[in-house]
Amino acid sequence: MGKKIKITGKNFDECQEALAALRLHLNKLVKMTKEYPVECSFAGYRFIFSSESDIQELIQSLDAKLTEFRAAA
């Protein structure tokens, strides 16, 4: 999950905000996935979480891609 995300100058801020929100609301999102799938969309991307591992995978992927983008800038 999240491997298809491409960070650009146009979507950097939105992706960074999404990452911060995912981290901030992780526990709440995990609880929600126990009842039903949770949709998350930002920067033209759409994800469906059905478990904590789905959310953690996206967090890790976003973090890595944002770090790579910053290093290349």
Tens digit of pLDDT for each residue in 4-38? 899 999 999 999 999 999 999 999 999 999 999 99
Find the mean pLDDT for residues 63-70. 95
Contact call for residues 4 and 22 (beta carbons, < 8 A) = no
Query: What pLDDT shows up at residue 58?
Result: 96
According to DSSP, the residues that pair with 15 across neighbouring strands are: none
Tokens of 29: 């999102």
- For residue 5, what pLDDT is reported? 92
Nearest-angstrom CA–CA distance, 16 and 69: 11
Whether the predicted pLDDT of 3 surpasses 90: no
